[in-house]
Chain A
Amino acid sequence: MSAQVSPIDEVKSTPWSGGRSPFNVEYGKMMMWFFLLSDAFTFSSLLIAYGALRFSSNSWPAPDLVFQSVPGLIEHGAPLVFVGLMTFILILSSVTMVLAVEAGHRMAKKEVVKWMIFTIIGGFTFLGCQALEWTHLHSEGFWWSSIPTDLTEYFHKGAPLSTTYTHQFANLFFTITGFHGFHVFSGVIINIIITINVLLGTYQKRGSYLMIEKVGLYWHFVDLVWVFVFTFFYLV
């Protein structure tokens, strides 16, 4: 028998020749990516609808006038300070999540637990801040289909006051930040469940901390959405 193998009998080893995942990721992680893709479409639909309504309006409540307080500390004249703090907290909790994933690669259970707990604290702090912000806006009269009676302080000088567009702003703001906050909340719950599993030694037994990566993807996505919400509600 000659040692030569005819081309047709050669075992192919390219990514797409079968027998293994061409993407080289575990099933659950790939499905998490596709879930996040669908969620990205949901959030972009909401944000693009907001954009279309806002750009077809002739006057819109000015973000630096609507969001100019730090609840409980400064009532007026501190535009974007509180939301800046919220953004910082969420980015920081994203960083602690990457550190948890990194510790997972080294199979360092204690470090994973430590960073996961920091991530959960970050998530709860963000939710607390959002609750304060909502309460503050609610106390001024903003809510779903509800706006303050005096609108002068929410529009720049010279811009026409519009109850219609303020209604649209209030509805869109609470719907979109609420939908995002709901994602943060579910993310925190998932993080807590996974941390309990880590403490029980589930992933140590399994031989890999891949589950931390999967919930990490979700958590970063929540941060990613906030980056867009922050830009389109607070800056533009």
Chain B
Amino acid sequence: MSSEPTDAHAEHGEHEGMTKKRIVAIFLYLLGITVVEFIIALWLVPTGYIPIQYANPIYIVLTLFKAFLIVAYFMHLKFEKIGLALAIIVPILFIIGLILVLTNESHYWVDLRV
């Protein structure tokens, strides 16, 4: 019981990672990436500078980068103990398995539909 406030207090040392300046910087990064996505979607693809099959992987890479910024800085995972970061990130890799399985499955659906 009595250990709780001290536990909470001991954490404060670990939480110096986010200053106001850094928060604004991350916000501007997120905003900038979204603006880039809009430029690609509204201007570069319709005018034919980037074919749609190249635009999609670009969107996905930019999205993953945004996800990294949110999880690492806003959700503070970069400043947590490595054990916690691994406990959260390693299970996420199972999602790659699900993507591979369902991509394979969707090829089968294409054959079914023909």
Contact = CB atoms under 8 A, between A and B. Distances in A.
Nearest to A103: B20
Given A210-B8, A227-B66, A231-B37, 11 more contacts: A25-B80, A25-B81, A58-B113, A64-B41, A88-B31, A101-B18, A208-B5, A220-B74, A223-B74, A231-B59, A234-B41
Contacts of A206: 5, 8
9 contacts: A26-B4, A26-B7, A45-B98, A52-B102, A56-B110, A91-B27, A221-B75, A227-B67, A228-B67
A71 interface: no
A78 B114 CA distance: 36
B102 A94 contact: no
Contact of B27 (A95, A101, A217): A95
B20 A23 contact: no
A105 interface: yes
Contacts of B56: 236
Contacts of B88: 33-34, 36-37
Interface residues of A, number: 58
Residue from the set B14, B30, B40, B91 with the largest chain A CB neighbour count within 10 Å: B30
Contact of A40 (B20, B62, B92, B105): B92
A208 B8 contact: yes
A162 B11 CA distance: 56
B109 A231 contact: no
A223 B98 contact: no
Nearest to B77: A33
Chain B contact residues, majority secondary structure:
helix
Interface of B: 4-5, 7-12, 14-15, 18-20, 23-24, 27, 30-31, 34, 37-38, 40-42, 56, 59-60, 62-63, 66-67, 70-71, 74-76, 80-81, 83-84, 87-88, 91-92, 94-95, 98-99, 102-103, 105-107, 109-110, 113
Interface of A: 15, 20-26, 30, 33-34, 36-37, 40-41, 44-45, 48-49, 51-53, 55-56, 58, 64, 79-80, 84, 87-88, 91-92, 94-95, 97-99, 101-102, 105, 206-208, 210, 213, 216-217, 220-221, 223-224, 227-228, 231, 234-236
A207 B9 contact: yes
